[in-house]
Amino acid sequence: MTLQDLVLKALASGRDHAVPKFEGAESRMHRRRDIRHLALAARRAAWRGQAWGRADTLVLFAGFPRSGHSLVGAAVDSHPAAIVSHELDALGLFEGGLTPWQVAALIRLYAHAFRDAGQYWNGHSYAVPDRLPESEARVLGDKKGDWLVRRALSDPGLIDRFRKAIAPRRLAIVNVVRNPFDNVATLSLRKGRHYDRLKIDARARGRPTDAASLLAADREGRIPRTALPEMIEDYETLCRGLETLRQAVPPRDWFTLRHEDLVIDPVGELSRLFAFAGLAPTQEPARRAAAVVASETHATRHVVAWSDDARDRIAALSERYPFLAGYSFAEPRARRARPLAAPAPALANVHVMTAVGVTGDLALLPHFLDHYTGLGIPPGNIHAILNAPEADAPGLAEARARLSERGCAEPEIWVGPYSSREMWERRRALQAGRTGAGDWIVSADVDELHVYPEGLAPVLETMETLSADLLQGPMIDRLAPRGRLAPVAEAPDLFAQFPLEGDLMCQISRWPERTDQGGTVKVMLCSATILPGLGGHGIDREQSVARARALAEALGGDLAASDDPAAKRLERCVAGAPVHLAGGPLTGDPRIKDPAFRLSFPVHVAHFKWHAGLPAEIARRRASGLQTPQAERYATRLEAMLGPEEEGAGRIDLDRFAPLCPEHRARGFRSHLDMLRRQMAERQQLHRRQRVPASAPASAALGWRLRQLTFGSAAGIGHFHSYYDIPVLNAAATRIAAVRFDRPQRSPVPEDSVEVGVVEIATGGFRPLARSRAWSWQQGPMAQWIAAEEKLVWNDREGERFIARLMSPDGGAERRLERPVYALDPGGRVGLSLNFARLDRLRPGYGYAGGGGARIEEAAPEDDGLWKIDIATGESTLILSLARGVETLRRVLTTEERAEHDAQGFRYWFNHCKVSPDGRRFAVKLRWRRPDGPWTGLMGVSMTCGMDGADPRVIARAASHVMWHDPGHLYFWNQRDKYVARKPDAELVEPIEAERLAPEEFTSNVHLRHLAEAPARMVYDVPYQPVVHLREIDLGTGRAAPIATFPGHDPAHGQFRCDLHPVPTPDGNRIVVSAMSDGARQLYVLDREDAP
């Protein structure tokens, strides 16, 4: 029976659990306790103090025995805002049936017991001398490294269940590794525990405790002298488990620390670890914790005998697993080498973040390193992600060697097919894990060399002087003579090899009907708090704010009162208001796609994409199957730039190239910057409007009570409800049908999914029920209640087919409907469905990715449109086809308009359907656009139709946010004439005959909901602003009043915006909204204070 088998048998041995037994300097054993007794102890501990408290992160350790987890766990525990238990096995407690709050309470209990016992284990004290006073804990943790791996290996779904159970708190994993030969040697020495007993005795007597001395003291020969095969076998098992676990954890929540690095630079490594955990980035806690780190590693591999087979097995593990990469028997591989020379003080806190594809970018790497070290950036501050298709890719070893030779930071190894989305996720995680609030980031792909004509230091000095947080610059292309796609040579430098300078990127990114200037600029230099968005063209505002808030909370204190420039940068980022050096984002400058304007920038990104490896790299990325639609379009346009081959190599069609002219770059850095800032200020002055500061928190008006129900913004986790005109509140107004996501705001792709679940209003928090792969940012998966049955229905995707699922959140079987559900009738007996794949193609942001059957080659199919679903049986019937909808539309078109529709080749689709209060008719929007042309809100009409498909009629043109007021009337925003209209359910007659509702109050488009019990009273938000106001009005008296204010809504437009979508109860005493005031989408509830 293997060691793993014995462990698994112990894990399954009953309802007891092994906990550490603390006996002062003699502490080294565990004892088994009944799980019920531990639950009672947790309750008592919670009575005396806290369980979670304000902690929003749980740190667990995963790895191998004898790697340094105890040391690192004690170091984290020494931080004033952290509490880490020793050997408690938190995951095992959860697996044994304890709840997350019970686990949290036991972590606090056993952590303090360990401290009280002197933090001794196996004869060694891990107590940090002169530790800082404990403050309110923001991080809890538990150190039980190998058991975490074993449990995850025996139950692969356990870690995911645990993560969901502690949500919205973050689960972070720390993996401490050391030379595997030392691991196996030490494990072999310790078999039988005689080694440990000798070590404890030697320490008590003041004698040497190194392995060689202990072996000499073992006169009975009870300590093994060879690397034992059973220990190697167990180590191999742990490697498999650790890799399985690593693949299951998001990169941003995984931190690998090499023991050898910790010995070389304990303060730096612990500072990076604290920042990863969300603790204060200041160095004082790390400096004190570093006192317990040994000054050198103990190479126990040299004191035991190794067979050739044993050495080969361990060497094979180093080659196979990324976390062991670079280790060998001869030398340990330090993850981060010391700089070869002391860096210039001004640039010591500047770090470079990049990614290198070893199959296509290797030739560029030496030039990249020469360039950025030549700017004065310390080699140890250059952090690279190395992407290889296979672990044995020939370029991987060479890339690592080149980085090591220069003294660069140990790279992150990424084995697998390349995708831009994953690369930027990894890059953000790398930046967050290795830098702190006081650092600066140079963000550059390996084919991008930043040009700072006067040096980098003056630019940094200017940014500090002007209190700027980021610098954007245009991408300026460099080509070889005659535009040839020449191979990259070792010499001369790239600027000499590719001397033609000009603009090509704007030609690639000039897509029809799109404002896409973002792809032509890059974030060159920014505060380390700011995380780049996809492509590095802008910033990921949501994740940046979340990171800044986590750093600020961990740091503590009043940022506003600090004079430290780093604190001021952090304060601005917390507010979601980083300052651009140019005075504003270059993507907002209307001239950014003008080559003459772009080429005038002395500080810019020299772009060396156009070399001989480009065609092969495009082919490799396409073959991966992981390209987003945007990346595929980009690749297509790259290929379109290529002309006929010349001298056996491809070349760029120079007719598409706008070359640099002498008059373009007439200004120096400071002169150009002054001009840019002046012009930016003038343009902003023209568009400036009064607004509430975005850094203000959400607030309720007098008479209302506001509560935030969901959390997780600091960890990149958000929640929202699907839409404002569907039943997201249950009948009792105690539960919300909600969605949880943990991904950046970008267009969903078929692989993306969100969690569907329930938020209990009384207690808050999100309880997941299922995942959905059919969702959008504006309407989610249309999760809504069937009120009569207290069941949820939401949409999902199987293959290319969209479906719906029904389930009670209180248990019971799940049902499946063959069509997705858009809207329900008031009784929940009938649903309406439409083609979400067609909607996604023609109105991005509202349909779902990954579906088939969009049929956009057809203008208005006769066998597609609005479908009625019997919820009980699942049977569906087409009640209004798109073809019939267009026929109805043509009744109200003028002769000229009908001729235009005939000539333009419009494509038509349905959206926004809803059932009348009596369940007899429904409203729907019929919209149209050219397949390759733009769409506006004027290109559509609102229709109504009987639920049996009879009597379709057009009731209004260009109507937005249509709602049924009663069975015979509807209200909406008239986009053409700019007022809220209320009109009968009757065929449109021009000019429209409609009542104008509160014209002085409703001056812009709003999300408007009347109260079912008082139809003259309405609740509404004023969307599409950075600060969104929630208000109410009584149409009978004309009195309007504020309810709440929600700042922080950025972006305010586009598919990624977060509208409040207010959902009131029938009496209006409770309102649910989704808002971004916490830094990400979260759910809030407002209750009227004087409500009965």
pLDDT by residue (tens digit) across 1028-1059? 999 999 999 999 999 999 998 888 887 788 89
Under DSSP, is residue 62 helix (H, G, I), strand (E, B) or coil?
A: coil
So what's the pLDDT on residue 658? 73
pLDDT at 588: 63
* Res. 68: pLDDT tops 60: yes
Model confidence at 906, pLDDT cuts 50, 70, 90, reads very high
The pLDDT assigned to 280 comes to 61
- Sorted by where each begins, the domain ranges of the chain are 3-324, 346-450+464-542+590-660, 709-1006
Q: Is residue 346's pLDDT more than 60?
A: no
CA–CA–CA angle 83, 84, 90 (5° rounding): 125
The pLDDT assigned to 1068 comes to 95
Distance, CA of 258 to CA of 334 (rounded, Å)? 7
With 0-12 CB in 10 A as exposed, 13-18 as middle and 19+ as buried, what is 688?
exposed
Q: What is the pLDDT of residue 153?
A: 85
Q: State the Cα–Cα distance between residues 604 and 451, nearest whole angstrom.
A: 5
370 contact partners, CB below 8 Å, separation of at least 6: 493
DSSP assignment letter at 1031: E
- The answer, yes or no, to whether residue 639 has pLDDT greater than 60, is yes
Which three-class secondary structure string do you get for 785-802? EEHHHCEEEEEEEECCEE
| Residue 568 or 200, more confident | 568
Cis previous bond, 168, omega within 30: yes
CA distance 870 to 857: 30
Q: Which of 202-211, 367-376, 659-668, 876-885 is predicted least confidently?
A: 659-668
Write down the pTM of the prediction.
Answer: 0.44
Report the residue count for the chain: 1092
What class has domain 3-324? alpha beta
pLDDT in tens, 712-724: 665 567 899 988 8
- Dihedrals phi, psi of 189, to nearest 5 degrees: -60, -35
Give the C-alpha separation, 751 to 1012, whole Å.
39
Please compute the mean of the pLDDT values over residues 623-640 and round it to a whole number. Answer: 67
Domains 3-324 and 709-1006 agree in fold = no
Nearest CA-CA partner of 228 in 178, 179, 189: 189
Tell me: pLDDT of 644 over 70: no
CA 941 – CA 953 distance, rounded (Å): 10
* Nearby residues of 465 by Cβ (< 8 Å), 6 or more positions away: none
- Distance CA(724)–CA(962), nearest Å, equals 11
Which tens digit of pLDDT belongs to each residue from 4-42?
A: 443 444 344 447 888 888 888 777 788 888 888 888 888
Share of the chain above pLDDT 70, in %: 87
What is the phi/psi pair of residue 958, to 5°? 45, 45
Sign of the dihedral defined by the CA atoms of residues 915, 916, 920, 923, in that order: negative
Residue 216, pLDDT score: 72
Residue 624 predicted with pLDDT over 90 = no
Decide the pairing of beta strands 876-881 and 412-415.
Answer: unpaired
Residue 868 binned pLDDT confidence (cut-offs 50, 70, 90): very high
pLDDT at 450: 95
Kindly give the pairing relationship between strand 382-388 and strand 412-415: parallel
| Dist. CA 337–CA 651, nearest whole Å | 40
DSSP 270-315: HHHHHHHHT----SHHHHHHGGGS-SS---GGGGSB--HHHHHHHH
Q: What token pair was written down for 1026?
A: 């950075």
Q: Render pLDDT for 133-142 as a digit per residue (tens, 0 to 9).
A: 888 888 999 9
- Interatomic CA distance for residues 540 and 219, integer angstroms: 63
Position with higher pLDDT, 988 vs 746: 988
From 47-61, 272-286, 1066-1080, the region with the lowest mean pLDDT: 272-286
- The C-alpha atoms of residue 1043 and residue 940 are separated, in whole angstroms, by 33
561: helix, strand or coil: helix
Sole residue written with tokens 């980022």? 573
Average pLDDT, the chain: 84
Determine the topology of domain 709-1006 in CATH: Methylamine Dehydrogenase; Chain H (2.130.10)
Q: How far apart are CA 464 and CA 350, in angstroms?
A: 13
Block residue for tokens 């080149």:
402
pLDDT digits (tens, 9 = 90+) for 433-462: 999 888 999 999 999 999 998 889 889 999
